[in-house]
Amino acid sequence: MNSFRYLLFDLDGTLTDSREGIMNCLHYASEKLGFELPDDPDRFLGPPLGDSFAMFCGMDREHSDEAVRVFRERYSTVGLFENSIYDGVEEMLAALRNAGFYLAVATCKLECYSVRILDKFGLTGYFGVIGGADASVGRITKAQVIEDVLARAGVTDRSQVLMIGDRKNDVVGAHQAGIKCLGALWGYGSQEEFTEAGADFVTAAPLTLTDMLIGKE
């Protein structure tokens, strides 16, 4: 794995464990709008929120947009900080930056929320670019976010780029953008999900990833 220079990290389920805030905001929206959540609401962890309401709650565009709006009523003030950094993540980021890697964030979470979360946990300084979704400019899917991050980082050789994420949409988006993807098993995805999605690499812990990238494994 020594050929990589640029490392793009997903946020939820990769750098931070945001499950508590997302679940609380889903229940808030469900109670306020009167719709039922699926038996396994963890499926909301990862994909774009509007897509999840459509796929898992059977909503049309109008209703999914309203569900997203109500979800964000709580998320924008409380839910985004019901969150914690995974063990080993800050040590991983420090070691990778010190080893000369260019680090960036590529997440389907709104970019404004992503910056606030990373600021809150003192992680902002590790990243050259913090890229997220922005519907006002048509940046919604993982591939669109990745393309934006690559442009802002000045990447010219995509063979030097590795996406690191915890769900199928990270793998699919990375491959659509012509880069490889590593599945982070410490997040919300599973080995089976990564195998089915065609992840190029998989690892179980942040510090194991560090060793893989700097040549200790």
Catalytically annotated residue among 10, 12, 148, 166: 10
Q: What is the pLDDT of residue 48?
A: 80
CATH 1.20.1090.10 fits 19-81, yes or no: no
> Is 10 among the catalytic positions?
yes
6-17+86-213: CATH architecture? 3-Layer(aba) Sandwich (3.40)
Mean pLDDT across the chain, nearest whole number? 94
Give residue-wise pLDDT tens across range 159-176.
Answer: 999 999 999 999 999 999
Q: What is the 3-state secondary structure (H, E, C) of the chain?
A: CCCCCEEEECCECCCEECHHHHHHHHHHHHHHHCCCCCCCHHHHCCCCHHHHHHHHHCCCHHHHHHHHHHHHHHHCCCHHHCCEECCCHHHHHHHHHHCCCEEEEEEEEEHHHHHHHHHHCCCHHHCCEEEEEEHHHCECCHHHHHHHHHHHHCCCCHHHEEEEECCHHHHHHHHHCCCEEEEECCCCCCHHHHHHHCCCEEECCHHHHHHHHCCCC
Q: Check: pTM over 0.85? Answer yes or no.
A: yes
Give residue-wise pLDDT tens across range 133-143.
Answer: 998 898 999 99
Give residue-wise pLDDT tens across range 73-85.
Answer: 999 999 999 999 9
Give residue-wise pLDDT tens across range 9-53.
Answer: 999 999 999 999 999 999 999 999 999 998 888 888 877 888 889
Segments making up each domain of the chain, as ranges: 6-17+86-213, 19-81
